Amino acid sequence: MKQKAALKSTDLLFFPQDITFRPCDEGWLVIAIPTANWMVLPNNLQKQFLEQLMQGKTIGEVYALADQQKQANELKRLLAAITARTFASTSAPPQPLYHEGYRMLNIYLTNACNLQCTHCFMRSGQPLANELPKEEWLRILTEFKSEGGQSVTFSGGEPLMNRDFDAILHHASYIGLATTVLSNGILWTKERIETLAPYISEIQISIDGFDESSNAIIRGAGHFERVVRNVILMANQGIRISVATTFTFQNLQDDTPERYAQMVRDIKQQCQHPVFFKLSKKILHGRNTHYTEAENQTFYQRILNIERSIDPHAQHQNFMEGHTPNQADRNCGFGGISIGADGEVYYCNRVSEVESYGNIQGKPLGPFMQQGHQLHLQTSVDHISPCKDCHLRYICFGGCRIDDCNFHGKLQSHHGPLLQINCTEKTIARLERKMIDSYNYRYHF
């Protein structure tokens, strides 16, 4: 990592235009709205120093106003925080970096799957009658890259059920796309892992329990040990790997936190490289799962307890890792292209819940990418009420465009303004509390 240059007394600091101060129990939550950046100031003295720097005083001029060593130390702590968060710059105000959803492609290679998971929102099993051939996928990937695409995620069904998976993956990597694979982990062999490892940027394997019996309730019997073995093989092959677990009320038990934590430890102990573990905190409508909002809230709390049992600070760590300083999110990702196995084009990866915008077979991808970018901007927080006037809009990004907006992810049939319908003052207060706690967990000046 490039080391940041030390500040000098003659330096002026340039800050983003729109900065707000929010009082909190710890002192002040300071938010740079356009860059989705924030700091927590522990006292009024640091706030005063920050305001003087924002008014155009040099570091030396502000230092001269400190009339004792204790005050000078507070200024040093403030400058350390500004530097750590890249909250200001000595050359120009920091500029926001935006996630561009249209540069990320999600491909459902097949609807075929060797499992019948109870919560599968794709309801996968049998292949579709009109799934795209290999040549079409190769063309789509090539055009995606030439139009500025950066990464592709292969999922299904089970992507390995597509007989041309290896060739399609190889092509995507060869032309320079970052490749992610979502798999149930069953069909991999040691030889296939070794062969395909160079072409995989990241792989996510699903394990929906902590042992054979709990996993079998969701995914069927006889797979758990094989999948765990393949996770270990992949990690030791140097593939960046994560294990995604979606419990349901069917297999959540009183001792699940302890049993899941033990599984995590057992896997990590056998791996020479890191393995990341993810817990789903919401259940979508699936094959046999239809949770109400209230049930999902209860589910969320139970999963949070499992997460905390492994690492009490996991929530804070994950939040900070998901909010890089000056990385602004205008959208949940709506507008990013998802292509179904039959070539239907969607602008959300929850393809069973949104509208198709046409079929890609035999058609150039460029116009679809342009349309996705336009939809991404149209549904950004800058165009949704009341988000567009909220000081947290680029940190929160307005929630899910299906679950939290009045158009429910379906723009073609929607008329009238775009509204966020689930945000409240309590929602804002909870997010601010998470920002404060996560910041104080990460930084100590």
Tokens 């040099």 -> residue: 58
Flag whether pLDDT at 3 surpasses 80: no
pLDDT per residue as tens digits for the range 418-442: 999 999 999 999 999 999 999 999 9
pLDDT recorded at residue 1: 41
pTM above 0.85, yes or no: yes
Report residue 364 as tokens: 């150039």
> Which superfamily is assigned to 98-346 in CATH?
Aldolase class I (3.20.20.70)
C-alpha span between 152 and 169 (Å, rounded): 10
pLDDT per residue as tens digits for the range 75-113: 999 999 999 999 999 999 999 999 887 789 999 999 999
pLDDT recorded at residue 66: 85
Flag whether pLDDT at 327 surpasses 50: yes
Residue 241 — very low, low, confident or very high, per pLDDT cuts 50/70/90? very high
Q: Give how far Cα 372 sits from Cα of 100, 191, 352, 405, 411, Å.
A: 10, 38, 18, 18, 12
- For residue 157, is the peptide bond before it cis, meaning its omega torsion is within 30 degrees of 0? yes
Mean pLDDT of 103-126: 93
Residue (of 12, 92, 96, 7) closest to 54 by Cα position: 12
Mean pLDDT of 52-76: 93
Flag whether pLDDT at 5 surpasses 80: no
Average pLDDT over the chain, rounded to an integer: 95
Flag whether pLDDT at 149 surpasses 90: yes
Amino acid at residue number 25: D
17-21 long-range CB contacts below 8 Å, 24 or more apart?
17/93, 19/54, 20/391, 21/47
pLDDT per residue as tens digits for the range 16-27: 999 999 999 999
Q: Give how far Cα 305 sits from Cα of 98, 257, 281, 321, Å.
A: 32, 7, 11, 20
- What percentage of the chain carries pLDDT values higher than 90? 92
Tokens 């992610």 -> residue: 180
C-alpha span between 315 and 373 (Å, rounded): 31
pLDDT recorded at residue 100: 80
pLDDT per residue as tens digits for the range 254-284: 999 999 999 999 999 999 999 999 999 999 9
Flag whether pLDDT at 346 surpasses 60: yes
Domain boundaries, the chain: 19-95, 98-346, 379-445
pLDDT recorded at residue 4: 66
Flag whether pLDDT at 72 surpasses 60: yes
pLDDT per residue as tens digits for the range 170-201: 999 999 999 999 999 999 999 999 999 999 99
